Structure 1
């Protein structure tokens, strides 16, 4: 019998929902990728030098067609549309990921640094050439000895008032710039982050525009080496850079937040050096926004390949009858459908993040609190999205068996090229640590302190929710017990599929882990413990609180999207997908709820049955769900003969 929901389900409705307001721009990017599909099919056979030149050519082609400057001001060839820039970058991830990263380095990192940290003199001098890719550049922040700890970078920029120049220097091997994209071959300049020293006083890390090459040759005092073969992304020319007392004009300081007068007087509109540093870094949040989105898009490619394969490949079955489709096996549904659901959730979480990014960066008067919230959301979403990419792509590879191991079928590149996403633009563990610290700051701001009374009030608010949830749980347990007496497979209580209940569970985990780590930190310091040691002991707890926060905001964004959809079969399917995502997350971490009395063993079992039920139910639309991701057929392999 034909399922009425799957029969009337229109994949185009979901595709339009996913593409959002930038559907036309995404279509243009997809066309560019289709025209350069040889990067996907042939690049494994190319020498490194050929691969890099082809990647550069695609970036130049994208610039010529106007796909690169959305985030730049109109007067420099852009559209003043930060959201469009993110959408174009994300969509690039459906194709060769070296192109994606080269694109991001040029227009997001290098161009973003000039745009966000520079002023009109820098914009006039460089932005039009950056947007058109006439000036290729690098983002020289990371050092061999200082990766995530940017505040401790070793490179120096010492001001010489006699010549009105900054002298850029690499004092030791640990201070060489490392893993710098666009450096090894194509970068003509870089945004270099260095300790700014004026009249013997160190004012902390600032950024300067520093030329690297002229007509393809490195400039005096600049030494560049190729980083060599990498795990992936070998179409990107990563290099390491040393500076030997390289002089640049005073005007090359990117001076939106601080400046140095010709005479050598340092000034800044932000007096506190720590606040100044984090404000500067906060303007570069675009990189994290884009990388998280890129990881999610790459996951869509893997899931599309694996799901279509599972809907066509047959294995085993009853003798004398056709073999069974992989996707009809319950375990195969379990492998793929929760990943599809999570990808939808992360997509809408990313969409909400991109919208916030666009609104805040288009508003020069946006408050510090709003910017801080954006940075936290970007860090959490990037961490969850890129870890999901790593896990999902591996699962999809395994789900395709030997076919998934062949390079032609894309999993080799998807695995290798996305692996670094978990550590660049911020190591995910460090990012979640920042999110966790931000949550503690929010708690302090809400209640004025982290003393016992404040924490008690925070926890007390949860107690009411706990009581309500246990009341629901008792009723459900009785229904499950009744059903179990008469049936092998009892349909779980309807309230399991209640999105309010699912959200309340995720919110409770978030708030309880946050309040718990706050108590531990305060208790340790009240007992006279060294703050650094106390923090180190609680670090894993803080990361759990941050991850719980990220999971909640992602699911909340998903629900907001579902609730805004018009009534119809597409909304019904999306509601089921949302439930599968939430219940899969609760099932995954069920030990946490069981240990704290938030779930009974019967309730936990009913959640597992609900996940099984949703996987069986959504199997009917599994292929349309991945078709809605919109990966062009020209970018997908044919795994079956």
Structure 2
């Protein structure tokens, strides 16, 4: 019997790491008979996830992201892709795998040196050593630079200490039940001087470490999150992950990076794999939810046509409006994620600092937009399935609960979009620092030159054909981004003696700049793959539904007339109707393993 043919859309979606995606799909088939998370108590769920993790450890997937000399495969892109594919199933497994091999293992590999690699990496890959990533504290989540846990060098070793309740390590995956060691982020103090946040490998099942179980959460209850406190716990000097900073036996501190501030951001920049993986997993969970909702909408009927049959849900424009623009955006985010993973894989650890910062900003922005999209779209999919979507047996309830925290872990989305905007503003740095008349005059001249450059033609109602012009769409996204960043730069340049107040008052502007940048990147990634007529139409829907969602801005800034705005809405409606016959094919192309789509609400329609 011949092998079933792969849909060309799936081939495009699987992209560069198609073999990794196919292997991951094949392996999760082994999990078809496990009990659904909603049917399990916390301890049974945790035990099941650990068993699945042990099954993964027997495959090549955990080794993908580690150095070949320690038994790894040195395929960073493949590792991130594989973890993202776990988002099709029980997200507790994805998170626990991400903690073990992405965060804990990644920190040892990327922040440590040969002595740590030789001692720990093989054990981490094989699961002989289960670990945690202890960064977040009760009082400091996003503000990592001001963590309060201390690591004081004295008498040849470091003393790890939790000075007060606000310094307690919080929400630490693997800590409550299974973890044996943690990478602990703490303020390094030697010779009475603080050298900023560094990372240490610390055993946690030892005297002096207090572990509390976080208990039941809104979702992800297969992950044993815990709280860690340290009461003057001694670890050897070699416990310091010393790639970016080291302490000699006599307490002398040294680092290849002189600036404490730059060292801190360089250290954090090496750890973006987790953030990229979360974006990929959020995308997979969203694709699963859309597959469920579209399949349901293709079979469920509600209300009769006059003198005719009951109407299939997806034949209603309102239902198409719920699902198809979200589906188009999921395609765009999928391709943008593929490009991001490619950059992460190819950049290398010795990349110029400017390229590294650009990668970090892109990862931050895509994580924010992808996880917000997951939260919104999974809720929409639940609503689109009515009461059936609210039943745990139909899978969407767990998807809602499990992905909700994605918007705040691996970086709070609001903070991440500000990071993106700050990166975009670096080209204006000279104007913030040099307020001389010459600098002001040069800035004004450059703004005038920009204002007379060729712009996308203003769209009026009679120009509806221009809507499907990819160049026009791209210019609309580009001009919005440029205008928002330029006006933000001018606004912040007036900071004077109160820079915090000025920045705080402009936070809405800052967030708009970050979002406009990411939406432009998504469009570029999508358009680069839109040669196929169907994909081209889906790309049009992404572009125009995005413009429609922000049409107030485009009208306020003279890029759309009122009649042009109406034409955008009409075009979105038309595209939804034209894509309706292809909706099932578009979601099936994600190739979500069928065992993760086994919902009784779909069986009833068969």
TM-score (norm 1): 0.90
Q: Give the conservation status (yes or no) of the 8 Å contact 2:321–2:576.
A: yes
Match of 1:247, SS? strand
Partners of 1:327 and 1:432 in 2: CA distance: 34
Partners of 2:431 and 2:15 in 1: CA distance: 35
Q: For residue 546 of structure 1, what is the aligned residue in structure 2?
A: 514
Describe the shift of the 1:127–1:445 C-alpha distance in structure 2 as closer, same or farther (beyond 3 A): farther
Q: CA deviation at 1:446?
A: 10
Q: CA deviation at 1:534?
A: 1.1
Out of 279, 294, 301, the position equivalent to 2:266 is 279
Partners of 2:508 and 2:226 in 1: CA distance: 34
Q: For residue 14 of structure 1, what is the aligned residue in structure 2?
A: 9
TM-score (norm 2): 0.96
Name the Cα RMSD after superposition. 1.7
| 2:473 paired with 1:515 | no
Q: CA deviation at 1:38?
A: 4.3
Partners of 1:69 and 1:125 in 2: CA distance: 16
Out of 20, 36, 60, the position equivalent to 1:66 is 60
What's the CA shift string for 1:351-396, capped at 9, x where partnerless?
Answer: 1100000011xx3431000100000000000000000000000000
Q: CA deviation at 1:602?
A: 0.8
Partners of 2:172 and 2:534 in 1: CA distance: 44
| 2:464 paired with 1:503 | no
Partners of 2:442 and 2:402 in 1: CA distance: 46
Please, which runs of 5 or more residues in structure 2 have no aligned partner? none
| 2:444 paired with 1:456 | yes
| 2:578 paired with 1:617 | yes
Q: For residue 430 of structure 1, what is the aligned residue in structure 2?
A: 415
| 2:23 paired with 1:28 | yes
Partners of 2:450 and 2:552 in 1: CA distance: 19
Match of 2:494, SS? helix
Q: CA deviation at 1:463?
A: 2.1
Match of 1:523, SS? coil
Please, which runs of 5 or more residues in structure 1 have no aligned partner? 1-9, 213-217, 481-491, 566-570
Partners of 2:515 and 2:326 in 1: CA distance: 17
Partners of 1:463 and 1:317 in 2: CA distance: 55
Q: For residue 188 of structure 2, what is the aligned residue in structure 1?
A: 196
- Map 1:169-568 onto structure 2 (within 5 A): 169-212=161-204, 218-360=205-347, 363-444=348-429, 451-453=439-441, 455-457=443-445, 459-465=447-453, 468-470=455-457, 473=459, 476-477=460-461, 479=462, 492-493=464-465, 495-525=466-496, 528=497, 530-562=498-530, 565=531
Q: Give the conservation status (yes or no) of the 8 Å contact 1:455–1:515.
A: no
Match of 1:503, SS? helix
What's the CA shift string for 1:234-256, capped at 9, x where partnerless?
Answer: 00000000001111110110000
Partners of 2:418 and 2:328 in 1: CA distance: 26
Q: Give the conservation status (yes or no) of the 8 Å contact 1:458–1:515.
A: no
Q: CA deviation at 1:461?
A: 4.9
- Map 1:599-610 onto structure 2 (within 5 A): 599-610=560-571
Q: Give the conservation status (yes or no) of the 8 Å contact 1:102–1:182.
A: yes
Q: Give the conservation status (yes or no) of the 8 Å contact 1:455–1:519.
A: no
Q: For residue 142 of structure 2, what is the aligned residue in structure 1?
A: 148
Partners of 1:224 and 1:103 in 2: CA distance: 21
Q: For residue 597 of structure 1, what is the aligned residue in structure 2?
A: 558
Partners of 1:220 and 1:38 in 2: CA distance: 40
Q: For residue 576 of structure 1, what is the aligned residue in structure 2?
A: 537
Partners of 1:324 and 1:18 in 2: CA distance: 32
Describe the shift of the 1:548–1:624 C-alpha distance in structure 2 as closer, same or farther (beyond 3 A): same
What's the CA shift string for 1:483-526, capped at 9, x where partnerless?
Answer: xxxxxxxxx22x2111111111011111111111111111232x
What's the CA shift string for 1:202-261, capped at 9, x where partnerless?
Answer: 00000001111xxxxx21111100011111000000000000111111011000011000
Partners of 2:123 and 2:197 in 1: CA distance: 26
Partners of 1:445 and 1:379 in 2: CA distance: 25
Partners of 1:329 and 1:577 in 2: CA distance: 19
What's the CA shift string for 1:128-155, capped at 9, x where partnerless?
Answer: 1111111110000000000000011010
Partners of 1:132 and 1:66 in 2: CA distance: 10
Partners of 1:398 and 1:348 in 2: CA distance: 26
Q: Give the conservation status (yes or no) of the 8 Å contact 1:76–1:131.
A: no
Q: Give the conservation status (yes or no) of the 8 Å contact 2:212–2:228.
A: yes
Q: Give the conservation status (yes or no) of the 8 Å contact 2:455–2:479.
A: no
Describe the shift of the 1:392–1:547 C-alpha distance in structure 2 as closer, same or farther (beyond 3 A): same
Match of 1:415, SS? helix
Q: Give the conservation status (yes or no) of the 8 Å contact 2:455–2:475.
A: no
Describe the shift of the 1:455–1:236 C-alpha distance in structure 2 as closer, same or farther (beyond 3 A): farther
Match of 1:316, SS? strand
Q: CA deviation at 1:459?
A: 3.5
| 2:51 paired with 1:89 | no
Name the stretch that deviates more: 436-445 or 366-375. Answer: 436-445
Q: Give the conservation status (yes or no) of the 8 Å contact 2:189–2:195.
A: yes
Q: CA deviation at 1:22?
A: 2.0
Q: CA deviation at 1:589?
A: 0.4
What's the CA shift string for 1:436-487, capped at 9, x where partnerless?
Answer: 111111343799968544543554354235x6434x53xx54x36xxxxxxx
